[in-house]
Amino acid sequence: MYKNQRNLMSEKVSSRKQQVRAEDVARHAGVSRVSVSRTFTPGASVSAATRAKVLKSAEILGYRVNRLASSLNRSESGIVALIAAEIDTPHRSAMIAELSDKLQAAGKVTMLINTSGYEERVKDALLQAISFRTEAAIILSGAPDPSLADTCFSNGMKLVLINREEDFPGSLQIGPDNRAAGKTALKALLRAGCKRIALANSANATWSILERQKGFVDAAEEAGVEVLSEVGGLTSYQAGLELGTALLDREDRPDGIFCTTDLIACGVIDAARQRFGLRTPDDLSVIGFDDIAQAEWEGYDLTTFAQPTDQIIEKCLEWCTTERPDTETVKLPAKFVWRNSVQKARIPLK
């Protein structure tokens, strides 16, 4: 009996935070605690009368079901971990915005884990996700140590790697078809009549960015075209500035540049305009990747590839709600977005 009215002694001494419990609501409404629980459990059997009483008392007392406690019991936390680095980057933040929005619409709650900085944080992030019995972990940054996969699965956690393809059994690996996009980029530059074709890439590129590069270079080799490669810096606007400057400073100045990222592309365009007085598309054709908001800005008007974000997210959600799925790798076509940073000849590419 004394269990129901809280230990008064410890209440005096410790500063234990007061919470409104189902018990309190039950007493206030003059019903049993289970009735309160049932009122807030969809599909449970409660009479309309008690339900009304409970709802009213809950309203008055400011009661909300403690989902930590309920998760404990039902072993479904409703939490999904979003593990990402550099979340203030345009493309990344757009992805996170979409993901969190859709997760929420699906009744899930997103736990954001920032892993910028040293790479070890990805491991810590996963461990943290496990601690909170996250239903799934969606990883947007570098992949973690594969040895952790077992721990994840033994706790019933789903795993999704976006834009990474690594040996991580039991996970969904999803992203755009980067190679195909690189190939398309080369074709587009060729059809635009570019004679000296270049590639601008970051020095610490991720796997998916390297794939774009590979697709571009392979296609060039196939077509018997030489590619001037400039690689350096981070995957950032500043790197684009430097890469652009280096490329445009050459004797054999390129007239068509594929940048593995929109940020780099913006840097290249600015280098051309501000430092060399060159304009796109008249003097220089530039193609990017990601279709960030700035690509649409009038100062850039960048031809680029849009990541199939909607489809990626849709598949993610499906994966997270499916029971014990097998390993799966999904490549979705990136949509080529024609704007005005590539010389005339807007011949549609199939």
Partner DNA sequence: ACACGTTGTGTACACGTGTACATAATATAG
Partner DNA sequence: CTATATTATGTACACGTGTACACAACGTGT
* Binding interface with DNA (CB under 7 A): 2-3, 6-7, 10, 19, 21-23, 31-35, 37-38, 40-41, 44-50, 63, 65-66, 69-70, 72-75
Which DSSP symbol is given to 17? P
Peptide bond into 281 cis (omega under 30): yes
Residue 86 interacting entry, from DNA, its own copies, none, C-beta within 5 to 8 Å by type? its own copies
Tell me whether residue 31 or residue 313 sits nearer to DNA (CB atom). Answer: 31
Distance CA 179, CA 185 (A): 10
The dihedral sign for the CA sequence 178, 182, 185, 191: negative
Distance CA 343, CA 345 (A): 7
Give strand ranges (E) for 169-303.
172-176, 197-201, 227-231, 256-259, 285-287
Residue 111 interacting entry, from its own copies, DNA, none, C-beta within 5 to 8 Å by type? its own copies
Q: How far is the CB of 329 from DNA (least distance, A)?
A: 32
Q: Which position has the token pair 């019933």?
A: 156
Measured in whole angstroms, the distance separating CA 83 from the mean position of its chain's CA atoms is 8
Tell me whether residue 45 or residue 147 sits nearer to DNA (CB atom). Answer: 45
Residue 220 interacting entry, from its own copies, DNA, none, C-beta within 5 to 8 Å by type? none
Q: How far is the CB of 273 from its own copies (least distance, A)?
A: 7
Q: How far is the CB of 139 from its own copies (least distance, A)?
A: 16
How far CA 229 is from CA of 35, 251, 310, 313, in Å, comes to 69, 14, 32, 33
Backbone angles phi, psi at 196, to 5 degrees: -115, 105
Measured in whole angstroms, the distance separating CA 112 from the mean position of its chain's CA atoms is 11
Tell me whether residue 128 or residue 236 sits nearer to DNA (CB atom). Answer: 128
Tell me whether residue 31 or residue 263 sits nearer to DNA (CB atom). Answer: 31
Q: How far is the CB of 19 from DNA (least distance, A)?
A: 4
Q: How far is the CB of 100 from DNA (least distance, A)?
A: 24
The binding site for its own copies (CB under 8 A) comprises 15-20, 61-62, 64-69, 71-72, 75-77, 79, 82, 86-90, 93-94, 96-97, 100-101, 104, 109-114, 116-117, 127-128, 130-133, 150-151, 154-156, 237, 241, 266-267, 269-271, 273-275, 293-294, 297-299, 323
